[in-house]
Amino acid sequence: MILLRRLLGDVLRRQRQRQGRTLREVSSSARVSLGYLSEVERGQKEASSELLAAICDALELRMSELLREVSDELALAELAQSAASDAVPSLGVPPGRTLERPMLNPVRVTSVTHRPDERVTIKAPAEAVDVVAA
Mind listing the pLDDT tens digit for each residue in 39-88? 999 999 999 999 999 999 999 999 999 999 999 999 999 998 888 877 65
- Residue pair 112/121 in contact (Cβ under 8 Å)? The answer is yes
Buried b (16+ CB within 10 A) or exposed e, 34-43: eeebbbbbeb
- Residue pair 125/110 in contact (Cβ under 8 Å)? The answer is yes
The backbone region for 71, taken as left when phi is positive above 0, alpha when psi lies in -120 to 50, beta otherwise, is alpha
pLDDT at 2: 86
pLDDT tens digits, residue range 86-125?
765 555 555 555 545 444 445 455 555 444 444 555 555 5
- Residue pair 47/81 in contact (Cβ under 8 Å)? The answer is no
Quote the distance between the C-alpha of residue 63 and its chain's center: 16
Q: How confident is the model at residue 133 (pLDDT cuts 50, 70, 90)?
A: very low
